[in-house]
Amino acid sequence: MSGIMKKIRVLIADDHALFREGVRALLSKYEDLEVTGEAADGKEAIDQVKKLRPDIVLMDIAMPGLGGLEATLELKKICPEVKILILTQYANQEYLYRFLKAGVSGYVLKRVAGAELVSAIRSVHRGGTFLHPDVAPAVIEGYLGGLQPPEQEDTYETLTDREKQVLKLVAEGKTNKEIAEILTISVKTAMAHRANIADKLGIHNRAELIKFALQRGIVQ
């Protein structure tokens, strides 16, 4: 026997450098794991996956620019063989369903112990699925209760580029007048965009829009 072990190659995608360093330090303690790269947002994650072809991507949800869901959907199109393990602070049933529907292999909360994260990585690499104990019951209860994962398309992606710009500005606290000035449009047009955004997202107050934008990493 040669004794040469094929390492599990991992890419860490998270917008917090200190968190990435911590995960890298943890995984470096295990001989069968190797961190091949890091990414601070969804776009960089896609670029790094194309370049490095890791076995597994540890993917955060809320990142600036392109968020975890958008990056996952894109990666599953261009690199379907790469397994994605969500590593997040959100124990949210809707998030869980959306990511499972997008094709992720696991969903782990950031409060997990290091050994459990390693176990999740190994399990996913073997072709299994790993759900954090705090979110697994939601899946079971959902299906037993007759609930199905949301079938609607990703509502954010139904927005036009201009509407996405307006959403970001609204989430940053800008008024209709300020939005109009920044985008060089009329106040009436800015208001129309906001109305369209509210209808498409099903969110009709600023607080919920800000929450949506924060969760998606549109603003920080």
In CATH, what number is assigned to the domain containing residue 45? 3.40.50.2300
Q: Is the pLDDT of residue 191 over 60?
A: yes
Return the percentage of the chain with pLDDT > 90, whole number.
44
Judgement on whether residues 22 and 122 belong to the same structural domain of the protein: yes
Mean pLDDT (the chain, rounded): 85
The count of domains in the chain is 2
Categorize the per-residue pLDDT at 151 as very low, low, confident or very high, splitting at 50, 70 and 90. very low
pLDDT score, position 186: 93
Round to whole Å and give the CA distance between 68 and 66.
7
Residues 108, 207 share a domain: no
Same domain, 129 and 185: no
Indicate if 136 and 33 belong to the same structural domain.
yes
Query: 11-20, 61-70, 181-190, 207-216: which has the minimum mean pLDDT?
Result: 207-216
d(CA 119, CA 150): 29
**pLDDT tens per residue, range 87-144:** 988 877 777 778 888 889 888 888 888 999 999 999 899 888 888 777 766 555 554 4
Domain that holds residue 162: 155-215
Model confidence band, residue 19 (pLDDT cutoffs 50, 70, 90): very high
* Claim to verify: residue 108 and residue 211 sit in the same structural domain: no
Which contacts (CB < 8 Å, 24+ apart) does range 28-32 have?
30/118, 31/5, 31/7, 32/5, 32/7, 32/8, 32/122
pLDDT for 141 equals 56
Question: Nearest-CA neighbor of 167 among 135, 136, 212, 122?
Answer: 212
Looking at the DSSP assignment, which residues form a beta bridge with residue 33?
Answer: 8
pLDDT mean over 215-219: 75
In the sheet that holds 33-39, the strands lie side by side as 33-39, 8-13, 56-59, 83-88, 106-109, 130-131
**CATH number of the domain residue 198 falls in:** 1.10.10.10
pTM: 0.63
Query: Looking at 119, 144, 169, which one is the last position of a domain?
Result: 144
Task: Taking residues 178-192, report their average pLDDT.
Answer: 93
> Does residue 15 surpass a pLDDT of 80?
yes
SS3 111: coil
**138 and 77 in one domain?**
yes
Q: What is d(CA 57, CA 12) in angstroms, rounded to the nearest whole number?
A: 6
What is the per-residue pLDDT for 30?
Answer: 94
Amino acid 136: pLDDT: 66
Same domain, 74 and 163: no
Last residue of a domain, one of 144, 164, 196: 144
Please state the rounded mean pLDDT for residues 155-174. 87
